Structure 1
Amino acid sequence: MPVSVVRLATPRLILRRFRDSDAEAFAGYRSDPAVARYQSWGTPFPVDAARAFVREQATADPALPGWFQYAIELRSDGGLAGDVGVNLHENRMQAEIGFTLAAVHQGQGYATEAVDRVLTQLFTAAGLVRVSAECDARNDRSARLLERLGFRREGLRVNNTWIKGEWTDDLLFGLLAEDWRRSQ
């Protein structure tokens, strides 16, 4: 089965399929303890695991249920800045979204730009009705980003996740297509 071309663009970014050449940079930012702090993976993140991930994503299809990760490439230098993951639900009408950005690229609006572009794809071309997200309740920056993009805080699950030797609270967010359209 042929692999579909995946390319979304913004003025500063290209969101594309991962390439073999991304594995070291991917492992690099995922190995940063500050980046991994609120994520499910531990550090260091092995290059072999990054290569396996890249191989897996090479055949993933964003139109099929399950996770698809967009690589975030900087137009300015072609470097890998991070990734945006979309977990399309079996009903193909809703999805969960997540994002990770290398520390050196945080605080410059890249994550907001990338997630906004993926939301546009999901609500227009894919015709989704709802996109959800969750984050560790201590992750203020991610929560603020979601709220900036129009997500509504829908709940708090107290002591919901056991991760890295501690219980953490999860914030739940949702964005409906009709609300997203009104904000455009």
Structure 2
Amino acid sequence: MTYLATTRLDVRRFAADDVAAFTAYRADPDVARYQSWDTFTHAHGTALVEAMQERELGAPGEWFQLALEDRDRRVLVGDVACKVNADETREMEIGFTLARAEQGRGYATEALNALLDHGFGPMHLHRFTAITDARNTAAAALLNRVGMRQEAHFVDNVFFKGEWGSELLFAKLAREHRPAPRLPTTTDPASYPYPSHPPGGIR
């Protein structure tokens, strides 16, 4: 199932055929450097892809992973993750991982812009957040590029891979967002399990 389409990408549900490519780029030490995992095996990839078959985009309190596929090449280039806050369901946290060979080509920018458009559009979200390692300058630059503001710099706030690490918090509000030019979604928005009007009014 394709949720979103950008100029070059299908942003879709993971499939069993993705496991090999998914595992390969996540097992790359350079890709994993600022991520939560130390090792990523074929079994890890299979388990995650299988788990995603039971989840839906927008389910509160659950991370949902979306595959990023180059439409012309039919190549998995990375993934984005999103989780709606279980306590405040109009806030979503996002993350992203790109295969090393596909970095620097603008894929993550396309994918995040599409996700922001969809979140602030049909999903009626109020706020997006993202957290990155303070040393990950490429991720911080990407988040700035899609219009997210740095709201905080947490110093030595997390013990991560054997050492204390610092993190940056980025956010964007619905009123700050301007939709990015892209192709329309390839699935019917009316079929999504979101209300036609945001609950509780607009903040």
User: What interval of TM-score do these two structures reach, taking the shorter chain for normalisation?
Assistant: over 0.9
Shift in CA distance, 183/21, structure 1 to aligned 2, threshold 3 Å:
closer
- Is structure 2 residue 59 aligned with structure 1 residue 64? yes
Structure 1, unmatched stretches of 5+, are: none
Residue type of the alignment partner of 2:125: L
Matched, 1:49 2:41: no
Q: CA RMSD in A?
A: 1.4
| Counterpart in the other structure of 1:73 | 69
Q: After TM superposition, where is structure 1 displaced by more than 3 Å over at least 4 residues in a row? A: 181-184
In the TM superposition, residue 169 of structure 1 has moved relative to its aligned partner by: 0.3
* Equivalent position of 2:194 in the other structure: none
2:113 is the counterpart of 1:116: yes
The change in CA–CA distance for 1:182 and 1:115 in structure 2 (over 3 A counts) is: closer
Give the conservation status (yes or no) of the 8 Å contact 2:113–2:180: no
| Matching residue of 2:172 | 175
Is residue 2:24 matched to residue 1:20?
no
Q: How does 1:134-173 map to 2 (within 5 A)?
A: 134-173=131-170
Query: Which amino acid in 2 is paired with 1:53?
Result: L
- Give, in angstroms, the shift of residue 42 of structure 1: 0.8
- Report how far residue 160 of structure 1 moved: 1.1
| Superposition TM-score, scaled by structure 2 size | 0.85
Secondary structure at the aligned position of 2:34 is classed as coil
Q: How far off its partner does 1:127 sit?
A: 0.5
- Aligned-partner SS, 1:77: coil
Tell me if the contact between 1:150 and 1:183 (Cα under 8 Å) persists in the aligned partners. no
Q: By how many angstroms is 1:181 displaced?
A: 3.4
Q: Are 2:90 and 1:93 equivalent residues in the alignment?
A: yes
**AA aligned opposite 1:80:** L
- Measure, in 2, the Cα distance between the counterparts of 1:181 and 1:80: 28
Answer 1 or 2: which has greater helix percent.
1
1:127 is aligned, of 102, 124, 127, to 124
- Structure 1 length as normaliser, TM-score? 0.94
Residue equivalent to 2:199:
none
Is the contact made by 2:128 and 2:172 (CA closer than 8 Å) also made in structure 1? yes
Q: CA deviation at 1:59?
A: 1.4
SS at match of 2:59: coil
* Corresponding residue for residue 31 of structure 2: 35
Q: Deviations over 1:128-168 (max 9, x none)?
A: 00000010000000000000111110011111111111111
CA distance in 1, matches of 2:118, 2:125: 9
Contact 2:58–2:83 at 8 Å: present in 1 too? no
**1:2-36 CA-partner distances (Å, limit 9, x unpaired):** xxx44210110000000001111111000001100
Q: Secondary structure at the match of 1:27?
A: helix
